[in-house]
Structure 1
Amino acid sequence: MKSSFIKRALILLVILCVFLTLPVYSFGQTKGLTVLCIYKSSEGYSDDSNPLKWFFEKDITSNGLRVKYHDFDKGFASLGNLEDIRAIVTWYNGGVVASKDIGINYAKFMINAADKGIKIIVVNSYGAYGYKEGNETKWDLLPYIRPLFVKIGIYFQGFWTNNPNNIKIIYKDSAMVEKDEKQDVTKSLHYQQIIPLREDVKTFLQLQRTDAPPQAGDGKSSVIVISKTGAFALENYVVRGSKVMLNTSAFIREALFYDDGYLNVGVIIGDLDRSETVINNIRYAFKYAKILYDIYSKEKLKGIVAGDLSEYEALVIATKTKSAIPFALIKGYVENGGKCIFMNYVEPDNELNEFIGVKEYAKQIEYFKQGFTLTPSFFMNGVNVPGDDIDCNVRRAIVENDVRVLGKLNTLFDAEKYPVVWERSFKKGKIVYWNTNLLDESKLTRGAIVQSIYRVADIFASGMINVGLIMIDDFPAPWWNVAYKPYRIKYYSDMLQNEKDKFNRKKLEEIIEKLKKLPDETDTLFISDVWFKDILAWQKQFGFVYSSFLIFNYNRDTKADEAGFSVRDFYLSQNGLSTKMGIAALENGFELGLHGYNHMSLTLTKPAEYDSVPWPDKKTMIRALTVSKNEWIALYGESALPFSYVAPHNIIDATGLQALGEVFPTIRVVATLYVAKSGEVEQEFDWTPDNRFYQIPRITSGYYFQDFDKFALYDAFHNFGVISHFIHPDDVFDEMRSKSYEGWLWLKSNFEKEFGTLKQSYPWIRWMTVKDAFYEFVVYNSSAINFKVKNNTLEIYTPGGAGHSYFIRARIPKQHKQLINCSLVQYTPSTGDIVVKTNKYKSAIVW
């Protein structure tokens, strides 16, 4: 017990430190469309004739950028504040300037540019290492130059030598540094020590000085590098005579459109009616899944070219019309290998239709209630997830032959003319198009957004909390020793006598016949002899660890009578079953949480959709909750006071939360619903605004899935690996929750079928109590998790330490060969889906 507490304390202790490492997600930044190229006229060059024009201009302009030439020898005052400049590229042959002031002022100019976010790309000589003082050349400018190089990501150490016997090449990327001729130190005769300072600095040519002085350490030197803030290529390793060793096309493209390898996604928002709601939905989907992203409006994309988008594994686009997005930019990105997801239907447009692969596209939006079916390959491990009974709007579409339909309506007629989602390869890239607005605002399709990225991206990865919760509302609770069967039969028989409509009469007759077939047992006997034994069996069958929520009364008292608030209903069940069930729950490893003094929501106003009596004030709430607390201590002891609370009707207001916190300081979790259906309180998996309570909402419910439930369960799991489901002991006695009294055996069979499929597909789900899940959510949501691809390796970065494990899922192009600092949870060859677990700062999947 003590070690468990210490472990949790340590986990929570690192949260603040972990929080400081969280990535910042913001609207994408405009980069500028001009590249400033600087040469020296004193070296015989001009705007019309210089190495930058010969080797770089074509590659710069072909990527949608402009070139502006400038002569170093004219100074830099005329350049102003460098508006619209995204990069400065220099190429000089010599390293000496006319005076010290020129050298200092040039360094200041370049540093100022770097501070504005302008990339600094130095090719061949830096151009101002030294200066003339009379007939003497001095080399004391390094203190002014080094701060600039640090901004590029390198430290210019020096320790020059031209002795080839003491220089050797220890690494080279031949495709980048041996275009027309091999690198050869016996011809280059040049060494300066240049040390990479940051993880983002990529080395393409590395030397080593074998006789390095002690201050030079191992003597290694990265002489051709590219970073996210610039690039550097040392003289003598760029050109030799008429031969160009540096692959200038590859070099300038990578320098201008640097990709650090981290997996991230770009989001483009157009003219949706409720764009803020859509943005919020995307933010939470990606926050939960640990996906890095940038959000762009059309205005923010004015300084962006297609090459800038190449860093993204995919673009997610949400717009009503094509005119509200930079379509030409997006098309160029896809043509060059980019991946694009339209997360909602766009108004028909001939150019857009051709792009997404539509021959005919109706302007009219049609509404369907039958739901849809997605191809199993869309989901992780190829699981079949039907979208039965999901209401959706769809446009009629006749798609091209090269389009692959991933989902279509569940309709008997013309289903092929109403595809819900499809994918298409276009030039070098790929498109997924959702022909519905279902993903725009629904929290229950966040997983579909994430999974769409997995569908188009060559390689992708995301975080998973991997938590499964089964909550039991109203257990233990007051039970009445009532045989519901005869009572229900009489109730529906009386309705039948007064019903005239043939359809309704038939429905009532069917209900009565079902009721006649049910056992005659009381609620008390059913719960103790049937239901409780079955859910205990499910603990072994599925690995469930339950969280049950006790309620003391079913009265409507929110003001207290003359005798005050008291617990009465809880003791009415036969043989004190309610009390015994609480003990049995604790003995069987359940978490015992609180559902309430009674089933009246802790609110000062009446909920619109529920028959719940409001409370007059916080003081009265506190009195009722205090009675509950004292009764709890008397029954189960102070050590068992609740940690979690489920709000009656899934509704509670700010006053109710205050009262709850004052009476029960032990309660840290409040649970309502992930998505409201009838005015309930909606929650995210996050802290309340005052950070007093953590919210763990329930996503699905019942023993059989209704409407959106099955899709919602798998969707949330595909978002970030969470299952949050709740049931009641007495669902069998409720018309809606029992599908018009199908009986316990039917409910049990359906429940076992659904969760059996879930277990078969994902046997590694960690079932736990809400209390244990609290610690998992707090650590997971506060942790920065990033992913980086290098060649055939996916690198995973987590906070590590504190004894906490992180679950990661990925889709890789072929079977893994090696796992470094992580263990395999599951791999599915048919889909390329892999799940690993790690507790290290850095781990990797190699294929």
Structure 2
Amino acid sequence: MKFYKKEGTNKFIYFFIAIFIIVLILQINRVIDKGGFFSLEQNFSFDKKPAKNTTFTFDNPQKMLVFYNKKSSQSKDILKNLEEAFIFNKIDYTLADIGDTVSTTGYDTFIFATDSFIGLQKSSFEGVKQATSNGKNLIFLNTSEYNPFNSISGIQKTGKVIEKSSEIHFTHKLFPGLDQHSPSSEMVVHPIFEVALDADCKILAWSKENTPLLWEKKYGKGRILYTNASFFADKITRGLMNQWISYGNDWYITPFLNAKLMHIDDFPAPIPRTVNKVIQEEYQMSTRDFYKQVWWKDMLEIAKHRNLIYSGFIIIDYNNAVRKEDMKEVSQITLEDLDIEGRELFLHGGEIGIHGYNHNPLVFDGDIDFAALSYHPWRSKEDMAAGMNQLLMYVKKMFGKKIKLYVYVPPSNILKEEGKEALVKNYPDLNVIASVFYGDSDRGAYASEIGRDKTIPKLFNFPRFSSGFYYDKDEMWSLFNAIAIYGYWTHFVHPDDVISDDRGMNKTWKELKQEFDKLIGEVEADHPYLEAIRASELTQRYINIEDLKIQSEKRDNKIYVGMENYREPFYMTMRIRNNSIKNISSGTFKEIYDTEDSKIYLLHVENPDLIITLGEENE
């Protein structure tokens, strides 16, 4: 007697076994330490390459003489901005108090960073006046009714003071993007004088009240640039000041980091498992599904279309555990979210940095208004350390031992010195704090300058200049103002901007996505050469030029540029008045802006000796 197995029964058994194996694999995947099996790697080198020095010698290098008034707070604020700009740009300058007796010989440009001329020596006045008439440049960075140079600067008479003037409207090109925008009255308010000017003054910018703000006046063989405002005491106009000084020189050479960075704060982070009304109405799906199926895919599409690389900053859990004993084990489903998001970030070439074990800023009781900000104070540095160790443990568990974390973004951009000390002590690889460039430190904001930290030299500060998915004219001014001096742009967003009442501006994701693309597209149109890089790559670029020194001198139709502490190729910009670059001795160059009476070039410098030949290419 023969027995036959039913074919359907066999198929059912095979199907059941296959399902069992899949479920088993998924379950193993949930409980194993993925860091050991699917290890990732994040490792950057920040070693300085050996330095090379120029072989050139200079008899009359370009140099500037800056006058300020040590008794004037306004003058000190202007000087702060000026020196930050000159230090980054490697400008050779001499500083003199308004009352000092100084020689005016050997300088190409004279700059007055003051609102008060009380004490100015007659010899200095006559020396600057004569040198300008003989072909040098004279720049005033603040208005004053009692400026003794007013008559030769084109001012026929001054009228009443407009105490709260606002806006800056350009009628002449100065720098890409910057001259197409104006800071609003919420951003910049300053006093100006009503003025009557000589007919031959070239006015580059006007106020909202249609009063001249920035103008140029020929004087003998030289030129005078005049500022009828006091806004150069503000950080928000530092880039404008840099380009104004650039415009006032026969040539102006500055390092240019040539980069664009996009930060996503709170990513990776736990995804809310709630139903959001806005998302539900627009997409008919849960918040978690929206972020996985819509938001992240759209962000990747924008990155591809606009050539962006994302740097994300991880939050382990949105708890309020600010004491070691309250730190509980993070749920498995939260770790799955973090793991998936982190691997997605790496898969698309990004970098992971630190935002926090939780979202409570590293500050103690009394440092900020905790009630107003809905935060909790840390009890001690030991509790901070416990939270940091939790973050390192989970990162290792999810991604492996080869992930080094170099960049920290403070929650809500709030940080104090004690927190900074704890960071350095507990994150061994940390070397960058990326907070904000503009901000109110009195309210706890960690608003920093660019470069090496003054209190903890192991750290660098590379702040962000703009934020948000929505398009805002003041944000555009902020970012172009930064590019105009540092040559890089860092913007940051949060995934929950989409569902935030204030940061979302009551707009749908579709609307925000369009505005975000518009924002990026506008920067791209004005600065198409900016290179997309990760957060730590910006550190590498800065370290390469940190101790660079630049000298330059014009000889016939050539400008000789010599560098000390040249290490690796880097970018620089060069503005030339009433001329053009014909060729350079090494590296590459391209024109990036034409203002009619000056051209701005982007150079890739490949040697500590550089000879720039001037003249039209068709000559």
TM-score (norm 1): 0.62
Residue in structure 1 matched with residue 525 of structure 2 by the alignment: 760
Q: What letter matches 1:428 in structure 2? A: K
Q: 1:317 aligns with which of 99, 103, 112?
A: 112
Q: CA separation of 1:601/1:536 partners in 2, compared to 1, >3 Å: closer, same or farther?
A: same
Query: Deviations for 1:377-427, whole angstroms, at most 9, x for unmatched residues?
Result: 1215996233344322132423322222222223xxxx32x2222222223
Aligned mates of 1:320, 1:710 — CA distance in 2: 29
Query: Deviations for 1:632-654, whole angstroms, at most 9, x for unmatched residues?
Result: 11111121232211111212223
State the Cα distance separating 1:769 from its structure 2 match.
Answer: 0.8
Q: CA separation of 1:268/1:397 partners in 2, compared to 1, >3 Å: closer, same or farther?
A: same
Aligned mates of 2:521, 2:265 — CA distance in 1: 22
State the Cα distance separating 1:753 from its structure 2 match.
Answer: 2.0
| 1:127-206 equivalent positions in 2, closer than 5 A | 199-200=57-58
Instruction: Say whether residues 1:422 and 2:219 are aligned partners.
Output: no
Aligned mates of 2:331, 2:207 — CA distance in 1: 49
Query: Deviations for 1:98-119, whole angstroms, at most 9, x for unmatched residues?
Result: xxxxxxxxxxxxxxxxxxxxxx
Aligned mates of 1:432, 1:353 — CA distance in 2: 11
Aligned mates of 1:517, 1:408 — CA distance in 2: 46
Residue in structure 2 matched with residue 568 of structure 1 by the alignment: 330
State the Cα distance separating 1:344 from its structure 2 match.
Answer: 1.4
Instruction: Say whether residues 1:690 and 2:456 are aligned partners.
Output: yes
Q: What letter matches 2:462 in structure 1? A: I
Query: Deviations for 1:694-746, whole angstroms, at most 9, x for unmatched residues?
Result: 2211121112354632122112111131212211112122233223x122222
Residue in structure 2 matched with residue 266 of structure 1 by the alignment: 65
**Contact 1:603 / 1:653 at 8 angstroms: preserved in 2?**
yes
**Structure 2 counterpart SS, 1:798:** strand
Q: 1:634 aligns with which of 373, 377, 397?
A: 397
Aligned mates of 1:359, 1:814 — CA distance in 2: 32
Residue in structure 1 matched with residue 609 of structure 2 by the alignment: 842
Aligned mates of 2:332, 2:552 — CA distance in 1: 52
Q: CA separation of 1:448/1:383 partners in 2, compared to 1, >3 Å: closer, same or farther?
A: closer
**Contact 1:822 / 1:844 at 8 angstroms: preserved in 2?**
no
Residue in structure 2 matched with residue 332 of structure 1 by the alignment: 130
**Contact 1:812 / 1:833 at 8 angstroms: preserved in 2?**
no
Q: CA separation of 1:318/1:303 partners in 2, compared to 1, >3 Å: closer, same or farther?
A: closer
**Structure 2 counterpart SS, 1:730:** helix
Aligned mates of 1:387, 1:742 — CA distance in 2: 24
**Contact 1:264 / 1:293 at 8 angstroms: preserved in 2?**
yes
Q: CA separation of 1:381/1:593 partners in 2, compared to 1, >3 Å: closer, same or farther?
A: closer
**Contact 1:373 / 1:387 at 8 angstroms: preserved in 2?**
no
Q: 1:602 aligns with which of 362, 379, 382?
A: 362
**Contact 1:374 / 1:387 at 8 angstroms: preserved in 2?**
no
Residue in structure 1 matched with residue 92 of structure 2 by the alignment: 292
Instruction: Say whether residues 1:479 and 2:479 are aligned partners.
Output: no
Aligned mates of 1:477, 1:382 — CA distance in 2: 35
Q: 2:48 aligns with which of 7, 12, 18?
A: 12
Aligned mates of 1:570, 1:263 — CA distance in 2: 63
Query: Deviations for 1:325-373, whole angstroms, at most 9, x for unmatched residues?
Result: 3444433332222212211121346x5442332334235341145x222
Q: 2:498 aligns with which of 715, 732, 748?
A: 732
> Which ranges in structure 2 are unaligned for 5 or more consecutive residues?
1-41, 615-619
| 1:295-694 equivalent positions in 2, closer than 5 A | 295-300=95-100, 302-304=101-103, 306=104, 308=105, 311-326=106-121, 327-348=125-146, 352-368=149-165, 371-380=167-176, 384-389=180-185, 390-400=187-197, 401-410=199-208, 415-416=209-210, 418-440=211-233, 442-485=234-277, 518-561=282-325, 564-568=326-330, 571-572=333-334, 576-609=336-369, 610-677=373-440, 678-688=443-453, 689-694=455-460
Query: Deviations for 1:438-486, whole angstroms, at most 9, x for unmatched residues?
Result: 112x223222122112222222222212222211111111221223226
Residue in structure 1 matched with residue 551 of structure 2 by the alignment: 786
Q: What letter matches 2:260 in structure 1? A: G
Instruction: Say whether residues 1:279 and 2:79 are aligned partners.
Output: yes
Q: CA separation of 1:789/1:746 partners in 2, compared to 1, >3 Å: closer, same or farther?
A: farther
State the Cα distance separating 1:806 from its structure 2 match.
Answer: 3.7
Aligned mates of 1:516, 1:322 — CA distance in 2: 64
**Structure 2 counterpart SS, 1:452:** helix
Aligned mates of 1:760, 1:801 — CA distance in 2: 31
**Structure 1 counterpart SS, 2:192:** strand
State the Cα distance separating 1:799 from its structure 2 match.
Answer: 4.6
**Structure 1 counterpart SS, 2:83:** helix
| Higher RCO (C-alpha under 8 Å, 6+ residues apart) | 2
Q: CA separation of 1:757/1:198 partners in 2, compared to 1, >3 Å: closer, same or farther?
A: closer
Q: 2:467 aligns with which of 687, 696, 701?
A: 701
State the Cα distance separating 1:606 from its structure 2 match.
Answer: 4.1
Residue in structure 1 matched with residue 572 of structure 2 by the alignment: 807
Aligned mates of 1:292, 1:375 — CA distance in 2: 31
Aligned mates of 1:584, 1:545 — CA distance in 2: 12
Q: CA separation of 1:341/1:468 partners in 2, compared to 1, >3 Å: closer, same or farther?
A: same
State the Cα distance separating 1:658 from its structure 2 match.
Answer: 2.8
Instruction: Supply the RMSD in Å over aligned alpha carbons.
Output: 2.9
The structure with the larger Rg is: 1
Aligned mates of 1:710, 1:648 — CA distance in 2: 23
**Contact 2:240 / 2:481 at 8 angstroms: preserved in 1?**
yes
**Contact 2:251 / 2:574 at 8 angstroms: preserved in 1?**
no
State the Cα distance separating 1:629 from its structure 2 match.
Answer: 1.0
Instruction: Say whether residues 1:773 and 2:529 are aligned partners.
Output: no
Q: What letter matches 2:318 in structure 1? A: Y
**Contact 1:322 / 1:347 at 8 angstroms: preserved in 2?**
no
**Structure 1 counterpart SS, 2:452:** coil
State the Cα distance separating 1:549 from its structure 2 match.
Answer: 0.2
| 1:35-114 equivalent positions in 2, closer than 5 A | none
Q: CA separation of 1:679/1:340 partners in 2, compared to 1, >3 Å: closer, same or farther?
A: farther
Q: CA separation of 1:274/1:360 partners in 2, compared to 1, >3 Å: closer, same or farther?
A: closer
**Contact 1:764 / 1:825 at 8 angstroms: preserved in 2?**
no
**Contact 1:358 / 1:397 at 8 angstroms: preserved in 2?**
no
State the Cα distance separating 1:320 from its structure 2 match.
Answer: 2.0
State the Cα distance separating 1:585 from its structure 2 match.
Answer: 0.7
Q: What letter matches 1:364 in structure 2? A: V
Q: CA separation of 1:293/1:387 partners in 2, compared to 1, >3 Å: closer, same or farther?
A: same
Deviates most, 762-771 or 706-715: 706-715
**Structure 2 counterpart SS, 1:454:** helix
State the Cα distance separating 1:827 from its structure 2 match.
Answer: 4.5
Residue in structure 1 matched with residue 5 of structure 2 by the alignment: none
Aligned mates of 1:841, 1:408 — CA distance in 2: 41
Instruction: Say whether residues 1:824 and 2:589 are aligned partners.
Output: yes
**Contact 2:271 / 2:288 at 8 angstroms: preserved in 1?**
yes
Q: What letter matches 1:692 in structure 2? A: K
Q: What letter matches 1:429 in structure 2? A: G
**Contact 1:374 / 1:408 at 8 angstroms: preserved in 2?**
yes
State the Cα distance separating 1:676 from its structure 2 match.
Answer: 1.6
Aligned mates of 1:797, 1:380 — CA distance in 2: 27
Query: Deviations for 1:593-613, whole angstroms, at most 9, x for unmatched residues?
Result: 110011111122344354332
Query: Deviations for 1:655-676, whole angstroms, at most 9, x for unmatched residues?
Result: 3223222322122212222122
Aligned mates of 2:613, 2:176 — CA distance in 1: 20
> Which ranges in structure 1 are unaligned for 5 or more consecutive residues?
23-196, 201-259, 487-514
Aligned mates of 1:840, 1:520 — CA distance in 2: 59
Q: 1:720 aligns with which of 486, 505, 508?
A: 486
State the Cα distance separating 1:584 from its structure 2 match.
Answer: 0.6
TM-score (norm 2): 0.83
